[in-house]
Amino acid sequence: MVKIKEKISFADTCKILVKALGVSLKIKSPLSIIISILGFAAAFFPILIAKSLRKFTDLIVELYGKGMSNVSKVLAVFMILASLYILQALYVFVRNYVNAYDTLRIQEYIKEVIIRITCRIKYKYIENYDSYREKINFSETVTGRRVAGSIQAIETWIQSLIAFISILNELVSVNIWIAISLIVTCIPAIILSYTQKDEEYRFKTKWMKEGAMVIHYYGMCCAPDSMNDLRHWNIYDFIKSGWRRVAEDYIKKKNDITKKHVLYNSIADILRNSVFIIILLLVANEIFKNPGIGLGTYMLVYTLAGDFQKVTANVFVTATVFMQDIKYMRDFFEMQNYEQEEMNENSNLLECFDIIFQNVYFTYPNSTRKALNNINVHIKQGEKVAIVGQNGSGKTTFANLLCGLLEPDSGQIKIGGKSFKKDMASIRKSISIAFQDFSRYEASIRENITISDPRKIANDGELEAICVKTGVDEIVKSQPKGFDELIGIFSEHGKNLSGGQWQRIALARAAYRDDAGIMVLDEPTAALDPVSEAKLYKEFTELTGDKTTLLISHRLGICSIVDRILVFKDGSIIEDGNHESLMKKNGYYAKMYKSQAQWYS
C-alpha cells in the first residue's frame, strides 16, 4: 500500500502546471494546434444553431399564416441552419480524429519517458526501492495521461466557458430563472465530480500495488517465459487462482466505489432532467404574457437548455477535475526527479585495473539481511580470480557492486584508484561483463555481439576470431545469413537460439569490448553443456588475455586454472587463496570441490 500525499501549495501547483502545459504543448501535432484554435470559434456553434432554429421556426409559423411570400427567407435560414449543423459535425469528426492521433502520441511520449527514467535511475529503484515498480505502472496507466492531456483540458475549459457565457446571456434575455434553475440543478453533479475524482485518486494510489499485482499475475499466465512451467507442470489452475484472488479483491474495492458513484450520479441526473419541466412552464408563461416572442423562443430555450447543462457541467467539472489532476501530475514529475546515474559518453578508460573493496556492507531495499558483510579484498591488475560459493552467498551482489549497479551501504570501492562516486563513466567503460541474467536482443547475431561497444567498428575477421574463442562460430555457420541472421522469438524464420547458444552470444558480447581492462563473467557456463564448458575452460586464458578477470560461479571446474579463489558464504569472504592452498586447508572450499569432483574427473 502506497502512502497518499495530500495538499499541494499554490506555488507548487503553478510549477507543476507550467511543466505539464509545456509537455502537453510539445506533444501536440500542428494539425492538433489548428483544431484547438478552431475550437474557440466552434464554441459558438450551440448559440448560433439555436438562434437559427428560432428564426427558422418563426418563419415557418409566419409562412403558414401569410402564404408563400417568405419562402426564399425560409430556404435561406434553412441553408444557414443546415450549414451550421454540417460544420459542427465536421468539426467534431476532425477533432475526434486528431484526438485519437494525439492519444497515440501521448502513449509514445509516456513510454519514452518511462524508458528514459528506467535506463538512467540508480539501480536500487530497479530493485523496487520506494515502490518504483508500482509507480512506473501507475505512471503508464494514469499520471502520464493527465500530464500529456493538460493543454487539452484547459482548451476544453475555455471553449466551454465561451459557450457558457453566450448561452447564459441568451437564456437570461428570455427569463433569468431559466438560467438559475439550470445552474442550480448542475451543482450536485459538480460536487459529485470533485469528490469522486478525489476518491478515485485515493483509490488508485492506495491500492497501486494491488493493481500492479493483477497485471503481474496476468503476465505470468501469458508471458512466453512462463509457458514451459505452466504447461509441463499443469499449473494453469494455480496461476489462475492467484490471478483471480488478487483481481477479485482489487475489483471488489473498485466496484464498491463505482456502485456508490453510479447511485449518486443517477440521483443527480434525475434532478437535472426534472428541471426541464420547470423550464417548459417558464417558457410557456413568457409566451402567454407576450405572444409576440413566438414559438421560436420555445425552440431556442428547449435547444439551449440541454447545451447549457452540458457546458455548465463542463466549465465547473473540468476546472475541479483539472485541479484534482494536479496530484497526478505531481506524482509523474516526482518520478522523474529520482537519483540518476552519471552518463558521460566521452569518458576515458582507466589507466590501472586493480580492484579494492574496503569495509563494504550492502543490504537490498526492503530487506534487513546483509547481502554483503564487511568485504575487504584487493585484486591486483591482471589477476584471474574465481568468485565461488553457494547460491545466495553474495557472489552476484559483489559483481553488481563492482560494476556500479548497486551502491554499498558503507565502505569504499575503488577501481584503478578511482571511486564510482567520482568517475562512474570511466569505470563502467573499463569493465566488460557477461551478466548471469544476460539480455537477448531481437536483432541480428552481429548486433547482439557488437552492442557492447557500438562505437567500435569491427570487420567480419575480428568477429570470427571472437566467435571461435566463445563457440559462437558454430552458430554463425549454421545460419543462412551468417552474422546478419535475425534471431529471437520474433524471427520470421524461427531462428530463436537455445539457452546455451544465447549464453555463448553473451560471452562473445563481453569479449567484443576488448579495450576494457577488467572482464567479469557471472556464471558463464550455467547454460552450457559439459563439452562446451570444458572448451571454455580450455580457452579461458586466450579469451581473457591480460585483463583483470573475475569469474563468478558455483561450479568449481575453472578454479584449478585461475590465480586466486575468493570463497563467499552468507555475504562474507571466508576463504582466500589458490586451488592448491585451499585444498590443503581442507575447509569449506575443499568440501565444495570434493562434492563436485566427479564432474571434472
In tens, the pLDDT along 478-500 reads 888 889 888 887 766 656 788 88
**Distances in whole angstroms, Cα of residue 92 to Cα of each of 42, 85, 184, 356, 513:** 9, 11, 29, 67, 56
Residue 436's φ and ψ, nearest 5 degrees, are: -65, -45
Lowest mean pLDDT among 35-44, 104-113, 191-200: 191-200
Confidence (pLDDT) at 1: 44
Q: What percent of the chain has pLDDT over 70?
A: 82
Question: Higher pLDDT residue, 437 or 198?
Answer: 437
Task: Evaluate whether 181 touches 309 at the Cβ level (below 8 Å).
Answer: no
**Distances in whole angstroms, Cα of residue 94 to Cα of each of 97, 151, 314, 480:** 5, 18, 21, 49
Question: Higher pLDDT residue, 209 or 551?
Answer: 551
| The three grid cell numbers given for residue 191, joined into one nine-digit string | 460536487
> Using CB atoms within 10 A of its CB, is residue 510 exposed (0-12), middle (13-18) or buried (19+)?
buried
Confidence (pLDDT) at 2: 44
Highest mean pLDDT among 130-134, 281-285, 428-432: 428-432
Residue 419, pLDDT > 50, answer yes
Highest mean pLDDT among 55-59, 89-93, 268-272: 89-93
Residue 588, pLDDT > 90, answer yes
Residue 555, pLDDT > 70, answer yes
Residue 210, pLDDT > 70, answer no
Confidence (pLDDT) at 213: 65
Confidence (pLDDT) at 345: 66
pLDDT-derived band at 212, boundaries 50, 70, 90 = low
Question: Higher pLDDT residue, 457 or 464?
Answer: 464
Q: Write down the residue that cell numbers 571454455 correspond to.
A: 536
pLDDT-derived band at 204, boundaries 50, 70, 90 = low
> Measured between alpha carbons, how far apart are the two ends of the chain, in Å?
54
3-state secondary structure of 358: strand
- Most distant pair of Cα atoms in the chain: their distance: 123
Handedness of CA 86, 89, 92, 98 (dihedral sign): negative
Q: Work out the average pLDDT over 118-125.
A: 82
Summary mean pLDDT of the chain: 80
3-state secondary structure 500-540: HHHHHHHHHHHHHCCCCCEEEEECCCCCCCHHHHHHHHHCH
Question: Higher pLDDT residue, 410 or 147?
Answer: 410
Protein fold of 10-335:
ABC transporter transmembrane region fold (1.20.1560)
Question: Higher pLDDT residue, 272 or 142?
Answer: 142
